[in-house]
Amino acid sequence: MASRSVNKVILVGNLGKDAETRFTPSGAARTTFSIATSRRWKDQQTGEWKEETDWHNVVVWRQENLANYLTKGKQIYVEGRLQTRSYEDKDGRKVYTTEVVAEDVILLGGRGEASPTADEHSQVVSMPRSPARSQPAPAQQQEEPASGYSATDDDVPF
């Protein structure tokens, strides 16, 4: 019997600091940033509203100019997978870290806005999806094609 598993993460949150891009010795770009997501709930015993914020470390491979758009406070959509890796710290201890390896990153909100209204979503930065994936990206506004643009069968979303 074949077994199946799923490793998928979807986050919408705000950037905690500007994204940073570094390059591996082989020249591959590695962009990292952190996203804050929050949840609110009403305490059953006290009736007070409480809020909890979680921080998520995100890594994006081979997107060297992505960091130019990802600045502190911006609201973004991230879709990817969880990956845990280990390394030795300066004291020789093994350290484990779990991060989101992003496949899609979309900057939300209009130009210059940190948070969008319900009907404003602007695809300022979007990474290409892998060809094996057939699901459409979240609701996005497409830019008007330049004059002389001719649609092909690949451009039709169904």
Query: Is residue 155 domain-resident?
Result: no
**Is residue 49 scored above 70 in pLDDT?**
yes
For the chain, what percent of residues have pLDDT higher than 70? 68
- The β-bridge partners of 86 are 96
Q: Report residue 7's pLDDT band, with 50, 70 and 90 as the boundaries.
A: very high
Contact 98, 84 (CB under 8 A): yes
Q: What is the pLDDT of residue 121?
A: 42
Residue 115 has pLDDT above 50, yes or no: no
Is the predicted pLDDT of residue 152 greater than 70, yes or no?
no
SS3 call for 40: strand
Report helix, strand or coil for 1: coil
Task: Tell me if 86 is assigned to some domain.
Answer: yes
Measured CA to CA, the distance from residue 55 to residue 73 in angstroms comes to 13
* Residue 93 lies inside a defined structural domain of this protein: yes
At 9, which helix (H) or strand (E)? strand 9-15
- Please check whether residue 115 lies inside any domain of the structure: yes
Q: Is residue 141 part of a domain?
A: no
Q: Is 69 left (phi over 0), alpha (psi -120 to 50) or beta?
A: alpha
Please give the average per-residue pLDDT across 35-48, as a whole number.
Answer: 92
**How many domains does the structure of the chain reveal?**
1
Rounded to two decimals, the pTM is 0.65
User: Tens digit of pLDDT for each residue in 8-27?
Assistant: 999 999 999 999 999 999 99
pLDDT at 96: 95
Q: Could you read off the pLDDT of 61-85 as tens digits, one per residue?
A: 988 788 888 999 999 999 999 999 9
Residue-range definition of the domain harbouring residue 73:
9-130
Q: What CATH number corresponds to the domain at position 33?
A: 2.40.50.140
